[in-house]
């Protein structure tokens, strides 16, 4: 009996190893793949800079430079785009970003506000600004306002942009196709806030670059890597051929919001697996944002779940379980935060499986297999994201020294994600000074810094 058990364990061990090798080959992003990804992304970036309606939108922000950190004065920022909106007052001392003082207040956005009239919604936002800075209603110094409006915007200047469509459950009437900055300025006047006016319209990615890059002349790229993903960077205006000379003015640089989540929508180079296809088919937007679905925190847990569910059906894992464990059988149940817990160095996997995943009776080999699947999915995401960053660095000619400002829960909280990303830079540009830094509060501090830089 003992010999039979030993043989069975050995057989399972060999099977596990073969299975892991198969998954590894599907998830691998090698040097040849990185080169293909870089070349294709640079082509799609060029297309987006030259013409509207391309796969990667490459949206001009009309922000001409990254703030220096020497901006002075009091500036406001408002961040709209979820279940709350946030008003931030930033006091900029002019001696670096580390000494910036921030005060903030959050206000809830009810379903009634989200689905009512646009006038009511912008009046509500203006009331929130008025409550936070009542002194702005009286005579005194103007307080320029940076606005982060996290919806699809067709931006036409630094302080104007029309709403392309509502997302995230918003449907307020009279806003789509209208300049959101104009609507907010009008609401501020209606509410008696006379000394506040929109100075800059940005998105969170542009703000991340501004917040992380202020005072850092080698910071050329901002990256969001959380629930979703996007990148912004500093571009030479001569490459932005879809803008007229009048729109560019005398600026030689401009921040570009890439909207890179849609990269390779045509599926020409991305190494898409059957698990990616299954996730995409079940998503609310099948066929769209393919790159984002392979990288960002909203999706990684589900990709890992699909792999583990498939391995269970193949009887490669959880063979002693009567049914597929609920966390791996239910779409959306295995979130990326569980991957983080499993991949945490030194984690007690048996206790984690029992307390967090509610799965008992697993073997050490099974737990290790789940961990390896999670690590493979995370490594693939990190390498895909870094491949895109390498494309941007090569496009702008900054492969000797470049700092990338990053914000988002995946980058900030997933164990070792930063290191997984930076290993690609060492492979691609050995000996060069290329690294990532955490950029905090781009939608608040970054928006205020851009408003200040514009005024300056």
- The catalytic site residues sit at 168, 204
Contacts of 453 (CB under 8 A, 6+ apart): 63, 65, 66, 67, 68, 71, 210
Cα 305 vs. chain centroid, distance in angstroms? 22
- How far, CA to CA in Å, does 32 sit from each of 170, 269, 384, 396, 398? 43, 11, 13, 21, 21
Helix (H) / strand (E) element for 410: namely helix 409-413
| Tokens 């890179």, residue located | 260
Beta bridge partners of 59: 257
Query: 3-class SS at 170?
Result: coil
Contacts of 357 (CB under 8 A, 6+ apart): 325, 327, 334, 338
Long-range contacts, stretch 126-130, CB < 8 angstroms, 24+ apart: 126/184, 126/187, 126/188, 126/190, 126/191, 126/193, 127/191, 128/78, 128/85, 128/87, 129/76, 129/78, 129/87, 129/188, 129/191, 129/193, 129/196, 130/188, 130/191, 130/192, 130/193
Q: Is the CB of residue 90 less than 8 Å from the CB of residue 101?
A: yes
| Tokens 């799609």, residue located | 44
Contacts of 106 (CB under 8 A, 6+ apart): 84, 85, 86, 87
Q: Is the CB of residue 218 less than 8 Å from the CB of residue 402?
A: yes
| Burial of 431 (C-beta count, 10 Å sphere; 0-12/13-18/19+) | exposed
| CA 228 – CA 218 distance, rounded (Å) | 25
| CA 42 – CA 32 distance, rounded (Å) | 16
Q: Strand (E) positions, 17-127?
A: 59-60, 72-80, 84-93, 101-108
Long-range contacts, stretch 150-155, CB < 8 angstroms, 24+ apart: 150/79, 150/80, 150/81, 150/82, 150/203, 150/204, 150/443, 151/81, 153/59, 153/180, 153/201, 153/203, 154/59, 155/59, 155/60, 155/61, 155/62, 155/201
| CA 243 – CA 238 distance, rounded (Å) | 9
């Amino acid at each position: 009996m003992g010999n039979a058990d030993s043989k069975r364990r050995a057989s399972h061990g060999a099977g596990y190893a073969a299975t892991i090798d198969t998954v590894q080959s599907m998830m691998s992003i090698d040097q040849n793949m990185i080169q293909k990804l870089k070349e294709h992304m640079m082509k799609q970036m060029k297309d987006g800079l030259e013409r509207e309606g391309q796969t990667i939108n490459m949206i001009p922000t009309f922000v001409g430079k990254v703030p220096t950190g020497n901006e002075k004065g009091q500036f406001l920022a408002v961040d709209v785009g979820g279940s709350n909106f946030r008003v931030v007052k930033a006091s900029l001392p002019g001696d670096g970003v580390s000494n910036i003082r921030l005060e903030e207040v959050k206000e809830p956005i009810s379903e009634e506000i989200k689905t009512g009239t646009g006038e009511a919604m912008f009046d509500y936002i203006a009331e929130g600004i008025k409550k936070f800075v009542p002194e702005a209603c009286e005579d005194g110094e103007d307080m320029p306002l940076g606005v982060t409006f996290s919806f699809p915007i067709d931006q036409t200047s630094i302080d104007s942009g029309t709403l392309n469509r509502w997302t995230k459950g918003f449907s307020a009437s009279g806003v789509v196709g209208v300049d959101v900055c104009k609507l907010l300025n009008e609401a501020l006047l209606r509410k008696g806030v006379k000394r506040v006016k929109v100075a800059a319209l940005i998105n969170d990615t542009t703000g991340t670059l501004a917040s992380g890059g202020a005072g850092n002349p080698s910071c050329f790229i901002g990256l969001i890597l959380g629930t979703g993903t996007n990148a912004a960077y500093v571009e030479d205006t001569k490459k932005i051929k879809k803008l007229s000379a009048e729109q560019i003015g005398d600026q030689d640089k401009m921040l570009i919001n890439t909207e890179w989540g849609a990269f390779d929508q045509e599926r020409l180079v991305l190494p898409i697996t059957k698990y990616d296809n299954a996730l995409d088919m079940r998503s609310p937007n099948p066929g769209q944002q393919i790159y984002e679905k392979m990288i960002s925190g909203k999706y990684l847990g589900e990709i890992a779940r699909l792999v583990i569910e498939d391995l269970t059906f193949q009887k490669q894992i959880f063979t002693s379980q009567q049914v597929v464990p609920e966390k791996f059988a239910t779409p959306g149940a295995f979130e990326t935060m569980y991957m983080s817990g499993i991949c945490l160095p030194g984690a007690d996997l048996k206790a984690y499986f029992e307390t967090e995943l509610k799965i008992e009776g697993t073997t050490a080999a099974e737990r290790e297999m789940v961990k390896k699947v999670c690590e493979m999915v995370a490594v693939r995401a990190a390498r895909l994201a870094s491949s895109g960053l390498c494309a941007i660095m090569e496009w702008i000619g900054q492969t000797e020294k470049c700092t990338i400002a990053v914000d988002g829960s995946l980058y900030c909280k997933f164990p070792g994600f930063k290191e997984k990303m930076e290993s690609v830079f060492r492979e691609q540009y050995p000996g060069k000074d290329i690294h990532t830094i955490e950029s905090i509060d781009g939608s608040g501090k970054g928006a205020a810094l851009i408003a200040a830089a514009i005024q300056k």
